Structure 1
Amino acid sequence: MDRLDPLLLISAFCFVGVVLSQTTPTPAALTTTLLENGTAVTPTPAPVSTSTTSSCSAFNTSTCESCAPGSQYDNGTLLCSCCPQLGLCLFPGACLPCTIGFYQPLSGQQQCLPCRQGFYMNFTGSPLCLPCPAGSFNNNTGADRCASCSPGFFSSLHSSTSCSPCAQGSFCNSSGCSQCQTCPGGSEALQSAARVCTPCRPGMHKAPRQTMCQICGSGSFQIHWGQENCDVCPEDHYCPSPDVNPIRCPSDAFCPQGSSAPGYCMETFFRKAGDTCELAPVTIALLVIGGGVALLFITLMVLRKMRDPDGELTVSRAPLLRKERPQGRYYGIPGDAEPVYAGW
């Protein structure tokens, strides 16, 4: 047992020496570069020598394994470059893990892939990329994070590459909105990508289910800001404009509920009587006089017809029975003489 201890120590020192020769660069491989603010030391790979070959021969290359998903082949170390095929290393821990923003779903690959637009990866050694959650987006490849949508914009789907503006009548007052909210009752958003809603002005209203403010109808009014409905013009008042207070109805007019203008009776001939119009005294007098004259005329015509029923017929037939000839001579013959024919 005492004789084996020195042999074990010698073997251990040899193994450490082999590993150090694989991982420690030679002094000749270091170059010095002068920079503006200091000096940088850059390692320069040394040419492969017979020592490298002899070092590789010290490994059992038959045990090389494929780099696991989420990693790539590292050709900068003998633990991988000594293997006969690219993508293989002596053990998976010798492979390089994929950096943030990159992934590799397969094993034994020489390089990692960048995450495409709409996806990201924020830790190393990942076999896949994560989709951007709703309310965020990413329009670059190889991203390690997603950007939140700005106020007034939204993204309702996963793996979005852009955000959409809120439509008219909706708003988003914070970043990272997955959907826009409809403006509450009594308010509206006249432009897209709105961050806040503005209240409806006097004379207008908007119900919660509506998108834009509406003008109050005829015969109604609204004098306050941000209202959901309009008020009906009260009785004995009229509302010429929806954004002013109701006006008292004049004494000579009538204004039922919902009036937009006072109603007047026809001048001179009618007058107001409660909520309706009635005939004025002057109109009644004119109707009585006119009716009396018409009745008198009809009576006279009837009496005349009854007193001389045949006279009218005689007078009407007289022009046809009596034909007067003018006095005079025609061709030497008195005008009232009968014509005489020569007989030929």
Structure 2
Amino acid sequence: MECWGFLPAIAACLLGIVVSQTTLAPAVTDTTVGEFVTATPMILSTTAPGCSALNTSTCEPCAPGSYYDNDTLLCSCCPDPGLCLFPGACLACSRGFYQSLSGQQQCLPCNNGFYTDVTGSPLCKSCPPGSFSNNTGADTCMSCSPGSFSSQQNSTSCRPCPQGTFCNSTSCAQCPTCPVGTESLQVAAKECTPCRPGMHKAPHQNMCQICNSGFFQVRWGQENCDVCPENHYCPSPDVNPIQCPNDAFCPQGSTAPGYCMETFFRKSGETCELAPVTIALLVIGGGAILFAILFGLRRKRDTDRELSMVRAPLLRKERPQGRYYGIPCDAEPVYAGW
């Protein structure tokens, strides 16, 4: 048996159906379009206009990975990547899915860090810096929130800005360093705060620094500290310089006034000089020391004289003349020869 009419009528009647035997019957299928679609042969036993009701045989839909070609009246392979088969037609992959090969039965989801925002895509695109994607099958990338950043492509998350940096908008690829005179004390900062009085921050520094000794800074958000001026002293870097007392010295950069030694010295211009009481003490002390030296020398001389007088009789005493055993006392001893 054969279908009514000519072969083109059969093609119009059976779109998406390929004859498996010489006698055809229409394809009555129940399919649902989805992201992943496959088709199975259907056994048909009903009749429809355009086909013979006699001796009805089986018709099959085009196999997965192919489509019905009206010119050849055959199933042909889907020619382009990014297209997958629905029975009788090639369907484009939905957003978030891709297929790089032709004639495939299903589309693949984009990996983490990738996305595709068009249908029928053969490839997924990388999430640009400042964005991320932490789900598969994403059709868009999410922007990093203020206070966070992602510096590379294909990021799956954003990182918080480190101390000393900030990000006050979305999609930050880098967190810039806080401007001079400002700082961020915590991570994930959305803005910077100015340095307090008594502190400063230069361009090469990340955090505010305390002014050095002898310097001061009484304003907020300053890049440098000022040196304490001459005739003033700066006990703390966050207060105004204090006027130096009249009896003290305060050169530039002083942290406290300098005084001459009380009682013994007094200020004279830019130096200290001996006070009158100091001069008097030196004179008295010098005289006393001189007197003690002279007294010591006199005492030593008198002592030496007394010793000389005592020793004189002893040194001058003469022995009496006499004979001892027939030998004069003052005679030289004679060796007897025994």
With normalisation by structure 2, the TM-score equals 0.73
Q: Deviations over 1:276-324 (max 9, x none)?
A: 32211101100001101111221222234335524257889xxxxxxxx
Q: Quick one: distance in 1 between partners of 2:30 and 2:94?
A: 27
Q: Deviations over 1:80-113 (max 9, x none)?
A: xxxxxxxxxxxxxx21211100011122211111
Q: Quick one: distance in 1 between partners of 2:245 and 2:284?
A: 33
State the partner residue of 1:311: 306
Q: Quick one: distance in 2 between partners of 1:137 and 1:239?
A: 53
Greater fraction of residues in helix: 1
Q: Is the 8 Å Cα contact of residues 255 and 261 (structure 1) preserved in structure 2?
A: yes
Q: Deviations over 1:155-181 (max 9, x none)?
A: 000000000110000001110000000
SS of the aligned residue for 1:212 comes to coil
Select between 123-132 and 50-59 the one with higher mean Cα deviation: 50-59
Q: Is the 8 Å Cα contact of residues 29 and 46 (structure 1) preserved in structure 2?
A: no
Determine if the alignment matches structure 1 residue 16 to structure 2 residue 9.
no
Q: Partner amino acid for 2:144?
A: C
Determine if the alignment matches structure 1 residue 245 to structure 2 residue 240.
yes
Q: Partner amino acid for 2:257?
A: P
State the partner residue of 2:322: none
What displacement does 1:19 show? 3.1
State the partner residue of 1:269: 264
SS of the aligned residue for 2:272 comes to strand
Equivalent positions of 1:209-228 (< 5 A) are 209-228=204-223
Q: Deviations over 1:224-272 (max 9, x none)?
A: 0000110000000000111110000001111010000011111111111
State the partner residue of 2:149: 154
Select between 270-279 and 152-161 the one with higher mean Cα deviation: 270-279
SS of the aligned residue for 1:290 comes to helix
Aligned match of 1:69 in 77, 81, 84? 81
Q: Is the 8 Å Cα contact of residues 18 and 55 (structure 1) preserved in structure 2?
A: no
Q: CA RMSD in A?
A: 3.0
Q: Is the 8 Å Cα contact of residues 254 and 274 (structure 1) preserved in structure 2?
A: no
SS of the aligned residue for 1:64 comes to strand
Determine if the alignment matches structure 1 residue 199 to structure 2 residue 194.
yes
What displacement does 1:16 show? 2.7
1:115–1:29 CA distance, 2 compared to 1 (3 A): closer
State the partner residue of 1:97: 92
SS of the aligned residue for 1:301 comes to helix
Provide structure 2 residue ranges, at least 5 long, that are not aligned to the other structure.
19-25, 32-39, 46-55, 63-67, 312-338
Q: Is the 8 Å Cα contact of residues 164 and 184 (structure 2) preserved in structure 1?
A: yes
Q: Partner amino acid for 2:13?
A: G
State the partner residue of 1:36: none
Q: Is the 8 Å Cα contact of residues 92 and 119 (structure 2) preserved in structure 1?
A: yes
1:211–1:285 CA distance, 2 compared to 1 (3 A): same
In percent, how many aligned pairs have the same letter?
Answer: 59
Provide structure 1 residue ranges, at least 5 long, that are not aligned to the other structure.
1-8, 31-44, 80-93, 317-344
Q: Is the 8 Å Cα contact of residues 99 and 124 (structure 1) preserved in structure 2?
A: yes
Equivalent positions of 1:3-42 (< 5 A) are 13-19=9-15
Q: Quick one: distance in 2 between partners of 1:246 and 1:166?
A: 38
SS of the aligned residue for 1:171 comes to coil
SS of the aligned residue for 1:95 comes to strand
SS of the aligned residue for 1:288 comes to helix
1:52–1:70 CA distance, 2 compared to 1 (3 A): farther
What displacement does 1:10 show? 6.2
Q: Is the 8 Å Cα contact of residues 67 and 109 (structure 1) preserved in structure 2?
A: no
1:110–1:19 CA distance, 2 compared to 1 (3 A): closer
Q: Deviations over 1:92-145 (max 9, x none)?
A: xx2121110001112221111100100001011111100100000000010000
Aligned length: 275
State the partner residue of 2:230: 235
State the partner residue of 2:290: 295
Q: Partner amino acid for 1:288?
A: V
Q: Quick one: distance in 2 between partners of 1:96 and 1:279?
A: 108
